[in-house]
Amino acid sequence: MLKFDFIGKKNIWFGISAAIIVLSLVGMLVIGFNYSIDFKGGSSSEVRFKKAVSVEDVRSVLKEQGLGDSKIQPIENILGTDVGALSSTTKGTMMLLRTTELSTDQETAVFKALDTKFGISDRQTMTVDASWGALITERAIYAFVAALVLLLIFITVRYEFKMSVAAILALFHDIIITAGVYVLVGREVNPNMIAALITILGYSLYDTIVVFHRIKENSPNIVRTTYSAMANKSINQVLMRSINTSLTTLLPIIAILLFGGETLKDFAFALMVGTIAGTYSSIFFASPLFVVWKEAEPYYRNLKNKYGKEAIARASTS
């Protein structure tokens, strides 16, 4: 068993979390989210060319039309026939072009330019309404709120109310950090990212419950020691399990991020950040937060006053 004073250094962990959360919130307010056309509206076109063209070839034409920031993806990658990483040199005869909303004249000019340079055998264009992205976000919020209510009830019944509040605060911690990193690196916010945020809730909660379960198991054994010391020992007991679980989860996520198709990368990136944040919060945020609140109770406050801070170090070496 590892021996580290997690609870004794709680102010350091709280400071790190606070700094990252503040940085994330500032990024959201100052930089803002880079929304995909699913959220701000636009045009989506499937184009079949007469010859294989690269993403960069198509982008060069779109730049001339003032659409250089458009999303361009070979449809072969989206359908999964090519599992290699998408790059600017990836070639295909079918491309998905996602642009800002085009007027009739703009649409005619864009596809005339593409047809002149590469030759177009077929195309289909549809307008993406921003309300669709709003609907996805609205339903995600409903799912998030419902999950929080169910978690509050379950953890309170199975463990205790203070643990449920600490676990939910840890979830907010992870969501804010993940969204903040997304903003700071400039990645596009799309439905995949929203789905990843919901997925993060389950993983983060699982990691937190593992630690809380061990604390609950060890709590009847508090004899001549403090609640902090017992909790610190509990965290050390499950630390390697948490690390191994996180590494096992991260390996396939990183593989998808490095080698998967472009449509999976946004999802994988959010999962990677959320998994790291969830592992951190379960050990360094949720558990110390719960212990601080728990030791405000008269019985455990008296134990702390009686046996002192040295009990944490004694529990870590036992």
Buried b (16+ CB within 10 A) or exposed e, 277-315: bbbbbbbbbbbbbbbbebbeeeebeebbeebeeebbebb
Tell me the Cα Rg of the chain. 25
- pLDDT value, residue 27: 93
- pLDDT value, residue 92: 66
Give the pTM.
0.80
Cβ(279)–Cβ(13) below 8 Å: no
pLDDT in tens, the chain (318 residues): 557 888 889 999 999 999 999 999 999 999 988 888 878 888 888 888 888 888 888 888 888 888 877 888 887 544 444 433 444 445 667 888 888 888 888 888 988 998 888 888 888 888 877 777 778 778 888 888 898 899 899 999 999 999 999 999 999 999 999 999 989 998 888 888 888 888 888 888 888 999 999 999 998 877 778 888 889 989 999 999 888 988 998 999 999 888 876 678 888 999 999 999 999 999 999 999 999 999 998 888 887 777 765 554 454 445
As a CATH number, domain 9-36+132-317 is: 1.20.1640.10
- pLDDT value, residue 278: 93
- pLDDT value, residue 76: 58
Q: Which CATH number fits domain 42-128: 3.30.70.60, 3.30.70.890, 3.20.110.10, 3.30.70.2040?
A: 3.30.70.2040
Q: What stretch(es) of the chain map to CATH 1.20.1640.10? A: 9-36+132-317
Question: What is the distance between the alpha carbons of residues 128 and 23, in angstroms, rounded to a whole number?
Answer: 33
- pLDDT value, residue 79: 40
Buried b (16+ CB within 10 A) or exposed e, 180-209: bbbbeeebbbbbbbbbbbeebbebbbebbb
DSSP assignment of 239-290: HHHHHHHHHHHHHHHHHHHHHS-HHHHHHHHHHHHHHHHHHHIIIIIIHHHH
Q: What stretch(es) of the chain map to CATH 3.30.70.2040? A: 42-128
- Provide the token pair at 151: 């978690």
Quickly tell me which residue has 């840890």 as its tokens.
170
Question: What is the distance between the alpha carbons of residues 239 and 242, in angstroms, rounded to a whole number?
Answer: 5
- pLDDT value, residue 159: 92
Cβ(289)–Cβ(166) below 8 Å: yes
E strand segments, 104-173: 120-128
